[in-house]
Structure 1
Amino acid sequence: MAAPKKGRSASTQSKPGRALALILIAIVALTGGMFASGHTKPRLGIDLAGGTSITLTAINEPGQPNAINKTNMDTAVEIMNRRVNGLGVSEAEVQTQGNENIIVNIPKGTDSEEARDQVGTTAKLYFRPVVKVEGSGAAALPTTPPSGDASGSASPSPSKSGDKNADKGTDKATSPESPSPTGSATSQGRAVTDALKADPTPTPSGSGSPKASDKASPTPTPSADKATQDLEAAYAKLDCSDPKQRAAAGKGKNDQPIIACGEEAPKVWSKFLLGPVGVDGTEITKAQAILDTQNAGGWKVVMDFDSQGSKKFLDVTTKLSSQPSPQNQFAIVLDDEVVSHPEVNGPITGGKAEISGSFTQEEAQNLSNMLSYGALPLTFKESSVTTVDAALGGEQLHAGLIAGAIGLALVVLYLLVYYRGLSFIAIASLLVSAALTYVIMSLLGPAIGFALNLPAVCGAIVAIGITADSFIVYFERVRDEIREGRTLRPAVERAWPRARRTILVSDFVSFLAAAVLFVVTVGKVQGFAFTLGLTTLLDVVVVFFFTKPLLTLMARRKFFAGGHRWSGLDPKSLGVQPPLRRTRRPAPADPKEA
């Protein structure tokens, strides 16, 4: 007879210690990373940690009685979701309630005030040319800004962010005596910057004599008609330090001039007389904050416009660049408030522009978020802001953990009664899976903003059954091999391929369900799907790198190989004759040739 082939069986069971060492090193490394980062606990969602809940109600604008519909509400939810994510807030919920309300839930541990300022800033975004600007209120900035030179650089300013780096723009067709506005920050961290200029690609020329058409003012020439007189009178009386007057300002039709307020620094206001809307915020396709290499340590905001916005922006910037200050400024109006009013250094072509000045990174990112996510299809008012207490979520979590502990205890009891010694392998595998899950969840909090909420805890509890099922599949395959008359060590190796296929198919179905659920749902249900998918992947890792190698090692021990009645491999219970361990017969003293 030919000698039995040893290659496959011997290779699969020869070095199980390597797999165990590998998973042990992974656990130690992940745990070390968890303690090194200082995040030793998973980040909690709003239902477990508490937070802020904001209710926004859509209102009808004049001339648009049917604007509040499902399409516009869904678009508003999507934009608010992106706006919150732009702030780095994770596990925030943005969802509709009824036909007119949107609920925004922001978990504790994030900058809820900043999120409220930006999420609650729900009016549309517009670019309007500046006709007049001056300080307003008791703590106003000087009416006449410091003078700048012909290159467009600004002198130091008493404002918050304008005293370090002056903007260096391209030459403007203005007189050297023309004042240049200075950079400053608003109360919401949105900078009011020095210059609006073309992105380096392409670089338009702002020098030379402007055309006659370029000299035309972008705003109507003041006339003696009553509407203009009323607007001038309202501008003269406007006190932006008064909240009531500030709330009433900034409103008007897109094709008409308006008066508005802007906060140059904390509690330091300016009032503006603005021309008709030049460019709509919906025509911005992208805005991002990048490091300004020409201004050491400074940042700038780069904007891209769509085709229609590019044409409008070229027309307006061509007109503005030929005007003296402050008529060469572009006001960015959001929620009826001027959030930035940069100068225009020259005609801007190609649909690309940058806002540069004395930006910090935070100011540049906040302004880019406003430009990217500021244009909503509807106008909203803030109906209520409430603080969510974690007590109710804590009670539900306590009840859920009790239910999970009862279920885990029943699983362990079943394993002990039915599998006896093999149950300790299953319990050790469950502990390894739990350790990996906890450590990875703790690391995912600061890494991707993952937050553990009640549905996520539910997903982790459901995973206990999925993991235990994998062990049971493998143990039953081993017992089937023993029933067919094989000893334990060959049975462990022969059972593995069939058990492996079953485990992979089962886990693939679970992971696919989790992936589909994650894609088609929003909010807390995504937490359940994410946790279920994560624990399913960890089940595969634990079974391949811990359960199977550990069972291979245990099969070499007499307790299991000899079929001890507490091993879970008792011959009587399996219906086979002992011993399970086959003894080697002595070779004949004088073998005969066949």
Structure 2
Amino acid sequence: MLQIDLWKRVMIWAAVAAGIALAAPNLFYNRVEQHNDAVAAIERQGSTDELREQASGWPDFLPSGLVNLGLDLRGGAHLLAEVRVQDVYAARLESLWPQIRDALRPLRDEIGTIRLQNSPPDVLRIAISDPSGQGAALQAVRDLAQPVSSTTALPQGGAQNIEVSGADGVITVTLSEAERAATDERTLQQALEIIRRRIDEVGTREPTIQRQGAQRILIQVPGIGSAQELKEIIGTTAQLTFQPVVNRGTDPDADPGVGEEILPSLDEEGLYYTLERSPVVTGEQLVDAQPTFDQNSRPAVNFRFNTQGARAFGDYTAANIGSPFAIVLDDEVISAPVIQSHIPGGSGIITGDFSIEESTNLAVLLRAGALPAGLDFLEERTIGPELGADSIEAGRIATLVAFALVLVFMVLCYGLFGIFANIALILNIGLLFGLLSLIGATLTLPGIAGIVLTVGMAVDANVLVFERIREELKTARGPARAIERGYEKALSAIVDANITTIITAIILFAMGSGPVRGFAITLGFGICTSVFTAVFVTRLLIVTWFERRRPKTITV
């Protein structure tokens, strides 16, 4: 007859208790958030008295997961950036010049002298003085071509990364179409990852960083002061290179030679260095950078290269003892020391006129890596905290109104059974917030709409059950049998109705982005908790009441 095994009752109440416990930290949002921030800061930079005091505001043995507030609720910054992928083409071709020069040097008897010519950014032109040897030169350069490597499917299998042509003693090198497509894909993925790492290093909460189209990136960061502040975090390129020094002087308008550039000194105003464009080592080969102090106790940055960078750095210093080389950061020469001896191991220190904060920020940027290409910001918005507070208040009022109307409706229509459904509805909201807190979901205005919709839909299953119980009571089989049959016969309708809705939520999550996903998550979780509370919790409440009262008749 109408009964539920003890182990099932224990499991149901244990699930409810766990959900309520996970949701509880949201009732003390600011306190728990301060605790979480302090714990994260202690892990990053070590413990201080102030951080320990902030961390003690919430007990460590209690759950501390929160439902994060999205950009429209908390306020923050929104940027839409376009990556200048064309910049990478020029950099790739510049890096090829030393290899081409080394490949052509053994052929000097056939081709004569080798000169790099001025050319557009996406083209590399090399002139040879003896055109009769052009065939051998073309073959030597073509031998440098490598297969295109990319995660995307390319139309031509085995395509080469460069195209080489020549006429009248001039060799022209360009990137192939397949290589450009692969480069675009890699550049976007690298820019996404570097932006994500930079924002995560700063410690912001739940940023949204998504690719839009072929060359655009959407960046939304809740809790940050302004769009300009966000641009300063992600827009700094932090491109570190080590370049050979040709000479130095005070004329910024001097004409550099082909393959050379003039850059200003960071520390000495009015001093300019002429450098070879092709770097010895770049920041891409950097594996670590940490703030430190030099021998004079001034802030500095320690750096360390990977195996490839360490070998190139060591070989260059061994071959150029007594020559100066420049440490260049973002097109400014930080330092230009003279190589006193071989520097093995691939580690060193960057010194300059830094404050402690500047050296720390520089280390963060270098660890995150250099952006592979520049960014053009097409759209920027700052959402103030006041607008976020207004949105929260509007969402709270909407939820409370919907909640109150549903509670009143259920009591008026179903009496005592309506009260049981209302208790389950309250527990349903607690379970929903517990699930959202467990996965660290971000709540936005569409997410609040999903919660309001969940409140309205949460009693659907109970309505189906109660209406079925009403019909079963007319057969005069007794209240216990009516309740049991009501749940049995309504179950298939409940499952069918909710499966169609949850399929919709899954499609929205898979195909949508940003706020649409937030709505899909709250709707999907809301359906799961609604079915659980209607089928298990409400039934357990009714059975417990029935076992105690044993009524001869019931009214639904």
The answer to whether the superposition gives a TM-score over 0.5 is: yes
How far has the Cα of 1:111 moved from its partner?
9.6
Residue 124 of structure 2 is aligned to residue 120 of structure 1:
no
1:296-335 equivalences under 5 Å are 310=308, 314-321=311-318, 323-324=320-321, 327=324, 331=328, 333-334=329-330
Alignment partner of 1:542 is 2:533: yes
Instruction: Provide the residue aligned with 1:12 in structure 2.
Output: 5
| Pair 1:262–1:412, CA change in 2 (3 A) | farther
CA shift, 1:417, in A, is 3.6
TM-superposed deviation, 1:485? 4.7
Residues 50, 107 of structure 1: 8 Å contact kept? yes
Aligned to 2:250: 233
Alignment of 1:480-519 (within 5 A): 481-483=472-474, 485-496=476-487, 499=490, 503=494, 507=498, 509-519=500-510
1:287-345 deviations in Å (ceiling 9; x for gaps): 578999xxxxx99877668xxxx4x77445421355558957765x44x3578999997
8 Å CA contact 1:478, 1:491 repeated in 2: yes
Partner of 2:96: none
Residue 277 of structure 2 aligns to a residue whose secondary structure is coil
Identify if the C-alpha distance between structure 1 residues 522 and 258 changes in structure 2 by more than 3 Å, giving closer, same or farther: farther
1:18–1:74 Cα change, 3 Å: closer
Partner of 2:43: none
The change in CA–CA distance for 1:487 and 1:361 in structure 2 (over 3 A counts) is farther
Pick from 239, 263, 272 the counterpart of residue 259 of structure 1.
263
Matched residues in 1 for 2:474 and 2:336: separation? 83
Tell me whether 1:556 sits opposite 2:547 in the alignment: yes
CA distance in 2, matches of 1:432, 1:477: 23
CA deviation after TM superposition for structure 1 residue 487, in Å: 3.0
Q: CA deviation at 1:563?
A: 3.2
The whole-number CA distance in structure 2 between the counterparts of 1:100 and 1:84 is: 20
User: What do the CA deviations read for 1:51-75 (whole angstroms, capped 9, x no partner)?
Assistant: 2344656667673599999969965
- Contact between 1:13 and 1:552, CA under 8 Å: does it hold in 2? no
Alignment of 1:169-188 (within 5 A): none
C-alpha distance 316-22 of structure 1, shift in aligned 2 (>3 A)? closer
Structure 1 length-normalised TM: 0.53
Could you say if the C-alpha distance between residues 233 and 400 of structure 1 is closer, same or farther in structure 2, counting changes exceeding 3 Å?
A: same
Q: Determine if contact 2:241/2:283 at 8 Å carries over to the other structure.
A: no
- In 1, the alpha carbon distance for the partners of 2:517 and 2:334 equals 35
For residues 341 and 460 of structure 1, do their structure 2 counterparts lie closer, same or farther at Cα, with a shift above 3 Å needed? farther
Letter in 1 for 2:249: E
Partner in structure 2 of residue 464 of structure 1: 455
Superposition TM-score, scaled by structure 2 size: 0.56
Is residue 419 from structure 1 mapped to residue 414 from structure 2 by the alignment? Answer: yes
**Inter-partner Cα distance in structure 2 for 1:495 and 1:283:** 67
Partner residue, 2:162: none
Call closer, same or farther: CA 1:18–1:75 in 2, change over 3 Å: closer
Which residue of structure 1 lines up, in the alignment, with residue 370 of structure 2? Answer: 374
Pick closer, same or farther for the CA change 1:119–1:323 going to 2, 3 Å.
same
Query: Relative to 1, partners in 2 of residues 1:270 and 1:505: Cα closer, same or farther, differing over 3 Å?
Result: farther
Equivalent position of 1:531 in the other structure = 522
Aligned AA (2:541): L
Residues 202-213 of structure 1 mapped to structure 2, 5 A cutoff: none
Correspondence 1:129 to 2:242: yes
**Offset of residue 550 of structure 1:** 1.1
Any gaps of 5 or more consecutive residues in structure 1? Answer: 1-5, 131-218, 223-227, 239-251, 293-297, 569-594
Change (3 A) 1:300 1:505: farther
Equivalents in 2 of 1:502, 1:270: separation in Å? 81
State how far apart, in whole Å, the 2-side matches of 1:399 and 1:432 are: 23
Give the match for residue 52 of structure 1.
77
- In the superposition, relative to structure 1, how do residues 10 and 414 fare at CA in structure 2: closer, same or farther (>3 Å)? closer
Say if 2:468 and 2:486, in contact at 8 Å, map to a contact too.
yes
Please name the residue that 1:148 is paired with.
none
Q: Distance in 2 between matches of 1:253 and 1:111?
A: 43
For structure 2, the residue ranges without an aligned partner over 5 or more in a row are 34-65, 88-119, 124-176, 293-299
Deviation of 1:499 (Å): 4.8
Instruction: Give, in whole Å, the separation in 2 of the partners of 1:416 and 1:291.
Output: 65
- Contact kept, 8 Å, 2:78 with 2:380, in 1: the verdict is yes
SS in 1 for 2:32: coil
Structure 1's 260 and 72: CA in aligned 2 closer, same or farther, altered over 3 A?
farther
Q: Residues 31 and 106 of structure 1: is their aligned pair in 2 closer, same or farther, counting only changes over 3 Å?
A: closer
Are the equivalent residues in 2 in contact too, given 1:322–1:328 (CA < 8 A)?
A: no
- Which residue identity is paired with 2:241? R
CA deviations over 1:134-187 (Å, ceiling 9, x no partner): xxxxxxxxxxxxxxxxxxxxxxxxxxxxxxxxxxxxxxxxxxxxxxxxxxxxxx
The 3-state SS of whatever aligns with 2:423 is: helix
User: Retained in 1: the 8 A contact 2:421–2:538?
Assistant: yes
Distance 1:483 1:362 in 2: 80
What is the CA–CA distance in structure 2 between the aligned matches of 1:76 and 1:291, rounded to whole Å? 24
Once the two structures are superposed, residues 219-266 of structure 1 have per-residue CA deviations (whole angstroms, 9 ceiling, x without a partner) of 37x4xxxxx6xx63347x99xxxxxxxxxxxxx9994344255589xx
8 Å CA contact 2:81–2:377 kept in 1: the answer is yes
Please give the secondary structure, in 2, of the residue aligned with 1:420.
Answer: helix
Residue 520 of structure 1 and its aligned partner are, at CA, apart by 3.7
More helix by share: 2
**CA 1:522/1:384 → structure 2, altered by over 3 Å: closer, same or farther?**
closer
Cα 1:261–1:523, aligned 2, differ >3 Å: closer, same or farther? farther
Mapping 1:38-437, distance limit 5 Å: 38-39=31-32, 42-54=67-79, 56=81, 63=121, 78-79=192-193, 80-81=195-196, 83-85=198-200, 87-94=202-209, 104-108=219-223, 115-121=230-236, 123=237, 126-130=239-243, 219=244, 222=246, 232-234=249-251, 255-260=259-264, 274-278=275-279, 310=308, 314-321=311-318, 323-324=320-321, 327=324, 331=328, 333-334=329-330, 336=331, 367=363, 370-372=366-368, 374-376=370-372, 378-381=373-376, 387-392=382-387, 395=390, 398-437=393-432
Distance in 1, matches of 2:30 and 2:322, equals 50
Change in CA separation of 1:404 and 1:115 when aligned onto 2, cut-off 3 Å: same
Contact 1:261 1:338 in 2 (8 A): yes
2:204 is paired with a residue of what secondary structure?
coil
Q: Is the 8 A contact 1:393 1:454 kept in 2?
A: no
Name the CA shift for 1:385/1:291 in 2 (closer, same or farther; >3 Å): closer
Quick one: structure 1 residues 390 and 111, their matched pair in 2 at CA, closer, same or farther if it must change by over 3 Å?
Answer: closer
User: Conserved in 2, the CA contact under 8 Å of 1:433 and 1:542?
Assistant: yes
Residue 453 (structure 1) shift: 1.8
CA offset at residue 428 of structure 1? Answer: 0.9
Matched, 1:452 2:443: yes
Residues of 2 paired with 1:339 and 1:480: CA distance?
85
* Higher relative contact order, chain-length normalized (CA < 8 Å, sep 6+): 1
* One-letter code aligned to 2:450: G
Identity %: 20
User: Partner of 2:241: helix, strand, or coil?
Assistant: strand
Give 1:424 deviation, angstroms: 0.8
What letter is aligned with 2:233? Q
The verdict on how the C-alpha distance between 1:82 and 1:461 changes in structure 2, with shifts beyond 3 A counting, is: farther
Pair 463,324 (structure 1): closer, same or farther in 2 beyond 3 Å: farther
> What is the Cα deviation at residue 375 of structure 1?
2.8
Change (3 A) 1:454 1:355: farther
Note the C-alpha offset of 1:463. Answer: 1.7
Q: How many residues align?
A: 421
CA distance in 2, matches of 1:483, 1:254: 97
